[in-house]
Structure 1
């Protein structure tokens, strides 16, 4: 098997370090040292540390986005107005699929998503592009039809909660289990619990101020 090319090695190293240390806590030198590359490699392959962060995030999120889009397409092919529970399952299921319990890669994906959600660095918050915006807007529109009493602002807040709950759960599951002995029963149970909990949270009455 051919060894990874320099660009892939940089992505692997950056994903590991960003997930563990955050954006500002990770230096370009640390990334290149872990990747076994020279210091100029980040600039050559990505242009900047910020662009490397964007590439790492997209590599992690694109498979999730694709699965979420496919799930929504299947729902909309059956009905123009899917139920909240079905929308939650279509949106949340791919997160569990990409962040499996007992898997180091899944745990790293979880930690990276938590970093994206909570890291104060502007470079982390501005990584998204048109593809990610399209997925979010399609689900917002579908949830908006299913939950017409929610304001757009509160709906966006609740959707961020889906990502936070799922990612934090996956990190905790990995930390409490052995990577060599995954528990598929517990993982499937957690998936069902999350869908039940998040459906209730999304469906709660609007907050009255």
Structure 2
């Protein structure tokens, strides 16, 4: 893990907002902002994810968002509320980013690391598991990009099937391989480390081949 957040990924006004949220309700920063901002530094992100395990506390945080934003010196606008997921737009320092406040009923697979700059972030174990489950639920090149750089960092996705199964009981290597075969590699997110779509395609094909006929241990 990095010693400080990568400000190319997560700006100061966003960090101030997250700290203000965590002072009110137990929650942690996850998703691409955590993976790229605290661990890998490989790409930028246009959104942040705040996960709350308790449903009542998640709804309480939603109600507190205007006050949280005021404390952090930013503006927040509610975009969508479907109960377990709330999306808002955060504006500050001349830029904006989307914020998802999510009720996550599944317990953490591993304890969060010590707070980074006063912010609780999701463990790398949980982030790795979640990235594999994303292949099942959506088709966004950024998820494949994240798996590529996790692989480069020494965490081959095919070795993380077991922990992914604890996040999503529907994980199946054969299904993952089939989905990967048609997974998009364009457009790439704004990269901070070199990567081409051709390199991502090669990785995608190799990973799909490793998953074919595999099993979850």
Structure 1 and Structure 2 fold alike (TM over 0.5):
no
* Higher strand proportion (structure 1 or 2): 2
Instruction: Kindly indicate whether structure 1 or structure 2 has the higher relative contact order, using CA contacts under 8 Å at least 6 residues apart.
Output: 1
- Which TM class, normalised by the smaller chain length? under 0.3
TM-score, normalised via structure 2 length: 0.25
Which of the two has higher C-alpha Rg? Answer: 1
More helix per residue: 1
